[in-house]
Amino acid sequence: MTPDAAPEPAPARETLRADCARCFALCCVALPFAASSDFPVDKPTGTPCANLRDGFGCGIHSGLRARGWAGCAVYDCLGAGQKVSQTTYGGRDWRRNHGLAREMFAVFPVVRQLHELLRYLTEAVGLARKGDLRDALGEALARVDRLSRGRPDELLALDVGGVRAEVNPLLSATGAQVRTTAVPGSRGGADHRGADLFGARLRGADLRAANLRGACLVAADLRRADLRTADVTGADLRDADLRGADLTGVLFLLPSQLDAARGDAATRLPDRLARPAHWPG
């Protein structure tokens, strides 16, 4: 970029939210799932879910959890669905354009991964102090945004793992920068990166500024735990008990992580995130 050139605009946060009305139900067709606690049946890649209706709506959307479809209730494409439907394929849907179906279903997961990186990078740019790190984050954000708008053949040839490997050190550095300065009185934050904390008894634990990147917190008891400015990038919070926990300023928390956890009216959340509708008031 030349000195006089204007920087490329960052993707608006609104574009990183799912808009099912502008998507051709790609998550209901492109993605496979297996019978488990999250799904009552098996479904292979490219096969429409039995609950999918002609207008691309879900026939049981209001009762997904009660009917055993918790996996659908927590899934979030982060806006990838409408981008693939409306931008990558210009509004051409897979039902009327059968020749595009297989390709479209393969492109969707690629764009979904890029949108996850966009979500993290957008947050990181707002968190990092001015300087080399923030500049590098801005450049990475612009690059990943460009990649997400590529042609189908470009997206299918993309090494998403390589892109993630380039971005992750920047996100990790941002988390470290914030965690070491944001919470007065913090003891530096425990390092639980990638830790197996399945079912861990962490009720009331001081996890301020902790590194929980990639940690398994499935069914962990985190009632009234202090998670202020903890980095939870990729942490598995399925069925984690967050009732009364303080997640103020928590870093890189996705709505899908919250939806998979349990909380209540006393759970304190970052301003940018809404309280899941299924949590008791």
Provide the mean pLDDT of the chain: 93
Residue 4 scores a pLDDT above 80: no
Residue 188 scores a pLDDT above 70: no
Residue 34 scores a pLDDT above 70: yes
Taking residues 215-228, report their average pLDDT: 98
Give the residue carrying structure tokens 């691309």. 56
Taking residues 1-15, report their average pLDDT: 55
Given CA atoms 58, 59, 65, 70 in this order, what sign does their dihedral have? negative
Indicate the domain borders of the chain. Answer: 186-281
Give the residue carrying structure tokens 């049946």. 41
7-16, 54-63, 147-156, 233-242: which range is least confident on average? Answer: 7-16
6 — pLDDT class (breaks 50, 70, 90): very low
d(CA 127, CA 159) in angstroms, rounded, equals 27
124 — pLDDT class (breaks 50, 70, 90): very high
- Name the residue type at position 221: D
Q: How far apart are the first and last CA of the chain?
A: 50
Tokens of 185: 């009185």
Q: Please tell me the predicted confidence (pLDDT) of residue 11.
A: 73
Give the residue carrying structure tokens 């735990």. 225
- Tell me, rounded to whole angstroms, the distance of Cα 247 from its chain centroid: 17
pLDDT, tens only, 74-98: 999 999 999 999 999 999 999 999 9
Give the residue carrying structure tokens 């479809």. 69
Q: Which fold has domain 186-281?
A: Pectate Lyase C-like (2.160.20)
Per the model's pLDDT, the better-predicted residue between 186 and 101 turns out to be 101
131 — pLDDT class (breaks 50, 70, 90): very high
Residue 221 scores a pLDDT above 90: yes
Residue 195 scores a pLDDT above 60: yes
pTM for this model (two decimals): 0.93
